Amino acid sequence: MKLKMLLTASISLLPIAAVAQEKPKVEGIHHWVSESEVKALKVITDKLATKGYIWQDSAVGGLSGANALQALRTRLAAGNPPTTMQFLGFEGLDWANEGVLRSLNELYEKNGWEKTISPQLEAFVKNGDDYISVPINMHRQNWIWANKALFDKYGISEPKSWDEVIAVGQKLKAAGVVPLAMGDEPWQILEVFEAIAADMNGPDFYKKAIVDLDEGELSSDKMVKTFDMLRKVRGLVDDGFTGRDWAVASAMVADGKAGMQLMGDWAKGEFLNKGLKPGSDFLCFPTPAQTPYFKFVIDAFGLFKTDSEPLVLAQDAWAESVMDPQVQKDFNKVKGSIPARIDISVSDFDACAQRSFADRDAAQKNDTMLGGLTEGFANQPQFTGVFSDVVAKFFTTDMSSEDAVKALVDGINNAK
């Protein structure tokens, strides 16, 4: 409440600098700092420039967006919000409940956007009756990326189960190749954990255990076996994983130093940025699920309340740039994702994107769309944090699967 009062008192002072500028600026806080991400962002900012506005970049990388979110908290506490902010998961809803975000209903109605986005997105871009952000993309999280030359050299085909993933990894390891490239950041480890949980146990288990936090499922043998498999995966990771950034891990696969990486399709942007082609230089396939599903992550931008009409117009220009059909197409070709808008053809996208688009369509029909846990689309931050802490500790120590499950249940109960 103090934050809301502070913002109310100070928000009217914000537009002064914007009004004074000959060319109005749109300042955005975001966490896109890898080469492919920076190039993708430029697609939106180039469109913004055609509308007469200058982009003021306030990138804060690291920790899958957590550092950027902290920067936003500091700015809001000081009564100095940016023009726009990149949101993951429930972040936008939390700030909307603080009363600091604009309602975008007029923009949605004016442009007909509500008819162009996937129904699963509404839970994250709409708060009550108000649209509070504009989505630029939809990432698929449950992908494995592989070096095709290494797979061909050692006669490896796409694994159809996690036991086969382990077998593939052991074959690469015996040949002196790093089987699985990743870092020790908790979010990178959690990416692997949640894929195993959904793949081995099915979407219904994922929904009950990770979304609904059902204690019976959380403490079940299925969860123990999930940790057992994660322990086997740990044996495929090299000792140099400490402090390794996800994009560095992608480069290891691209350069033939590692065979595989489990990562959302933002990793594809790194391969494409190096001039590599899917199917000939690298392979993409979903993590091996017994029941097919689509685990999604979206990037969306919210706009902060202001009394300045010029700044409102600048915000409108930014939102319309984000939702522009051609921007969504060009941005996602660089970023590795698919458009948030479902009225855009991906027929001229690469094979990985087309597979993602087809799998999303099937998942929407089969009710197997799952929000990614790591990026905050499966549960609230306090619960996601418990999963992250327990999984990271398990992966980097000799904790038993049974002890991990107990710590998970205790942590979730304490967070409720």
User: Quick one: 113 and 157 in the same domain?
Assistant: no
**134 phi/psi in degrees, rounded to 5:** -120, 125
User: Quick one: 70 and 130 in the same domain?
Assistant: yes
CA–CA separation, 218 and 127 (whole Å): 29
User: Quick one: 153 and 126 in the same domain?
Assistant: no
Amino acid identity for residue 90 in this structure: F
In the predicted model, what is the mean pLDDT of the chain? 92
Does the residue 337 lie in any domain?
Answer: yes
Q: What six digits make up the tokens of 252?
A: 């290891």
User: Quick one: 99 and 207 in the same domain?
Assistant: no
pLDDT at 19: 43
User: Quick one: 52 and 112 in the same domain?
Assistant: yes
Helix (H) or strand (E) holding 171: helix 162-174
User: Quick one: 131 and 164 in the same domain?
Assistant: no
Does the residue 372 lie in any domain?
Answer: no
pLDDT at 46: 98
pLDDT tens-digit series, residues 77-87 = 788 889 999 99
pLDDT at 64: 65
CA–CA separation, 342 and 44 (whole Å): 18
Average pLDDT of 245-253? 97
- Specify the number of domains making up the chain: 3
User: Quick one: 156 and 227 in the same domain?
Assistant: no
The answer, yes or no, to whether residue 5 has pLDDT greater than 60, is: no
- Residue 393's contacts (CB-CB under 8 Å, 6 or more residues apart) are 399, 404, 407
The answer, yes or no, to whether residue 135 has pLDDT greater than 90, is: yes
User: Quick one: 25 and 125 in the same domain?
Assistant: yes
On whether the CB atoms of residues 24 and 53 are closer than 8 A, the answer is yes
Least confident of 36-45, 115-124, 316-325, 386-395: 115-124
The answer, yes or no, to whether residue 117 has pLDDT greater than 80, is: yes
Does the residue 268 lie in any domain?
Answer: yes
User: Quick one: 111 and 87 in the same domain?
Assistant: yes
Q: What six digits make up the tokens of 71?
A: 């920067």
Nearest to 367 by CA among 292, 288, 298, 287: 292
pLDDT tier at 17, thresholds 50, 70, 90: very low
CA–CA separation, 148 and 155 (whole Å): 10
Domain termination residue (choose one: 221, 256, 282): 282
pLDDT at 16: 40
The answer, yes or no, to whether residue 119 has pLDDT greater than 90, is: no
Does the residue 369 lie in any domain?
Answer: no
Structural domain span for residue 8? 2-139+297-353
On whether the CB atoms of residues 256 and 331 are closer than 8 A, the answer is no
pLDDT tens-digit series, residues 386-407 = 999 999 999 999 999 999 999 9
Nearest to 304 by CA among 80, 52, 107, 113: 80
pLDDT tier at 12, thresholds 50, 70, 90: very low
Does the residue 365 lie in any domain?
Answer: no
Q: Is the dihedral of CA 119, 120, 122, 123 positive or negative?
A: positive
Provide the percentage of residues in the chain whose pLDDT is more than 70: 94
The answer, yes or no, to whether residue 168 has pLDDT greater than 50, is: yes
The answer, yes or no, to whether residue 167 has pLDDT greater than 70, is: yes
Please give the C-alpha separations between residue 85 and each of 61, 68, 350, 380, in angstroms, as whole numbers: 13, 9, 29, 19
Average pLDDT of 157-183? 98
Residue 20, exposed/middle/buried by CB under 10 A (0-12, 13-18, 19+)? exposed
CA–CA separation, 128 and 97 (whole Å): 10
Least confident of 13-17, 120-124, 134-138, 407-411: 13-17
pLDDT tens-digit series, residues 184-198 = 999 999 999 999 999
CATH number at residue 190: 3.40.190.10
Give the residue with greater pLDDT, 120 vs 347.
347
Does the residue 375 lie in any domain?
Answer: no
User: Quick one: 337 and 402 in the same domain?
Assistant: no
pLDDT tier at 116, thresholds 50, 70, 90: very high
User: Quick one: 15 and 91 in the same domain?
Assistant: yes
Does the residue 358 lie in any domain?
Answer: no
User: Quick one: 218 and 92 in the same domain?
Assistant: no
Does the residue 256 lie in any domain?
Answer: yes
**250 phi/psi in degrees, rounded to 5:** -60, -40
pLDDT at 22: 59
